[in-house]
Structure 1
Amino acid sequence: MAEPVGLRGSAIEWLKERTSDGLEPLTRDDILDFAFQGAPFALQSTQQGIRKPRGFEAALSFQTVYRSPGQKRPYEDDIGADGLIRYAWRGDDPNQPENLGLRRAMELRLPLIWFVGVAMKPARFQVIAPVYIVREEIEHKRFAMAPVEEIDMLPEMMAGSVMEESLRRYLRRETKVRLHQPVFRSTVLTAYENRCAVCSLAHPQLLDAAHIVPDREELGIASVVNGMALCKIHHAAFDSYFLGIRPDHVVQIRKDLLDEVDGPMLRYGLQELHGKKLMALPKRYTERPRPDLLESAFDRFRSATVSDVA
Structure 2
Amino acid sequence: MQSAGVSDAVPEEHVRAAALQWLTEVTFDGTVTVTRDQLTNDFSVEGVRFPLVDAGRGIRRPRGWSTALSILTAVPKGSRGPVYDDAEGPDGYHRYKLRRDARGAAENDGLRAAMAKQTPLIWFYGLAPSVYQAIFPVYLMAEEHELSQFVMAVTEEQRRLWPTESRFEEALRRYLLTTTRRRLHQPVFAYQVMQAYSTRCAVCSLGHRELLDAAHITPDADEAGAAVVTNGLALCKIHHAAYDRHILGIRPDYTVEIHHRLLEEIDGPMLRHGLQDHHGRPLMTIPTARTERPDPDRLRQRYALFRAT
Report TM bin, short chain. 0.7 to 0.9
Partner of 1:8: 16
1:237 partnered with 2:242: yes
Structure 1: which amino acid aligns with 2:193? V
Q: Mapping of 1:286-305 within 5 angstroms?
A: 288-289=292-293, 291=295, 294-305=296-307
Partner of 1:126: 133
When residues 152 and 13 of structure 1 are mapped into structure 2, their CA distance, relative to the original with a 3 A threshold, is farther
Partner of 2:255: 251
Conserved? CA contact 1:253–1:274, under 8 Å: yes
Identity of aligned residues (%): 46
Secondary structure of 2:18's aligned partner: helix
Deviations, residues 231-285 of structure 1 (Å, cap 9, x unaligned): 233223322334433455x224268569857566666545554554422234566
1:114 positional shift: 0.8
Determine the C-alpha separation between the residues in 1 that align with 2:34 and 2:282. 31
1:9 positional shift: 2.8
Secondary structure of 1:298's aligned partner: helix
1:118 positional shift: 3.6
Determine the C-alpha separation between the residues in 1 that align with 2:192 and 2:168. 33
Determine the C-alpha separation between the residues in 1 that align with 2:43 and 2:246. 45
Of structures 1 and 2, the one scoring higher in RCO (CA 8 A, sep 6+) is 1
1:195 partnered with 2:195: no
Query: 2:26 aligned to 15, 18, 43, which one?
Result: 18
Partner of 1:35: 44
Deviations, residues 34-85 of structure 1 (Å, cap 9, x unaligned): 22234222111332322233454443211223579x8364786645575533
Structure 2: which amino acid aligns with 1:85? H
Determine the C-alpha separation between the residues in 2 that align with 1:162 and 1:16. 35
When residues 153 and 270 of structure 1 are mapped into structure 2, their CA distance, relative to the original with a 3 A threshold, is closer
- C-alpha root-mean-square deviation of aligned residues, in Å? 4.1
Partner of 2:150: 143
1:298 positional shift: 1.9
Deviations, residues 149-206 of structure 1 (Å, cap 9, x unaligned): 6x9954x52x475332487478557646865555544553454333111110223343
**Which range moves more in the overlay, 206-215 or 264-273?**
264-273
When residues 224 and 90 of structure 1 are mapped into structure 2, their CA distance, relative to the original with a 3 A threshold, is farther
Query: 2:93 aligned to 62, 79, 84, which one?
Result: 84
Determine the C-alpha separation between the residues in 2 that align with 1:258 and 1:74. 43
Partner of 1:208: 213
Secondary structure of 1:24's aligned partner: coil
**Which range moves more in the overlay, 174-183 or 126-135?**
174-183
TM-score by length of 2: 0.73
Partner of 1:105: 114
Unaligned runs of 5+ in 1: none
Structure 1: which amino acid aligns with 2:49? P
Unaligned runs of 5+ in 2: 4-10
Conserved? CA contact 1:211–1:228, under 8 Å: yes
TM-score by length of 1: 0.73
Determine the C-alpha separation between the residues in 1 that align with 2:230 and 2:72. 23
Q: How many residue pairs were aligned?
A: 296
